[in-house]
Amino acid sequence: MTVHTGRFAGKAVLVTGAAQGIGRAVAERIAAEGGEVVLVDRAELVHGVAEALREAGGTAHGVTVHSVPVHSVTADLEAYDGAVDAVGAALAAAGRIDVVVNNVGGTIWAKPFEHYTAEEIEKEVRRSLFPTLWTCRAALPHLIAQGSGTIVNVSSVATRGVNRVPYAAAKGGVGAITTALALEAAPHGVRVVATAPGGTEAPPRAVQRGPLPQTEQEKAWYQQIVDQTVDSSLLKRYGTLDEQAAAICFLASDEASYITGTILPVAGGDLG
């Protein structure tokens, strides 16, 4: 994969959900492209990820940037105070924030809507909507004050998907945040954009979002998600972490300076 060396030189980038998956891939690529990066996650393993990146000298995709600072912060972004603390820590570490990548979220359970409990529905929405909502709110005053900045939210094409209605509702909310906030932020020189990933191949999660399917019925419900995801993609496959990170980093960069209020599907032709 092509890495644009120096594309984020002089910029400070906050990446949430950066301990694994898409968030980690984005953080690694930002560092490789010269950006000062602040990794945020509620899992303590985020500090190990940051340390590994520092020890590698900011190496990702075969490119090394020895002078790029890498910071890490633990915070629970499902609470507003956690988002405020994360943004404050990023500002203290880097001195400014030029880009915010809101990546936290993910399906916890996979089953038809009538099988969800009220508590499970609320947990799904808290997990996949509020971290983006709160982090936008916490970071926005600083971006407005400096008269520039970019927010890249990570939504999902699963807004049209089986066996995850609460998650779909939450990610639909992320899309709405993106388009509505873009209108308010544009006069202040701040862009707000999003990607909508489809199914993405990733290593096994170090920290699970929720219980893995146990019964044959639960496994069948999860398999329906996999089958529908592949069938909906024109390319008939899952994407890669690199493919997701590439789209996010493009939208975060100055190359996308005339793009705002836009949600880019990255799902092999599935528009959600």
The side-by-side arrangement of strands in the sheet containing 12-16 is: 70-74, 36-41, 12-16, 99-102, 149-154, 190-197, 263-266
- First-to-last CA distance in the chain? 26
Asked if 70 contacts 87 with a C-beta cutoff of 8 angstroms, the reply is: no
Instruction: Express the helix, strand and coil content of the chain in percent, nearest 5 each.
Output: 45, 15, 35
* Partners of residue 265 on adjacent β-strands: 196
Beta bridge partners of 190: 149
Residues labelled as active-site residues: 167
Within its chain, how far is the Cα of 175 from the centroid? Answer: 13
Secondary structure (DSSP) of 82-139: HHHHHHHHHHHHHS--SEEEE-----S--S-GGG--HHHHHHHHHHHTHHHHHHHHHH
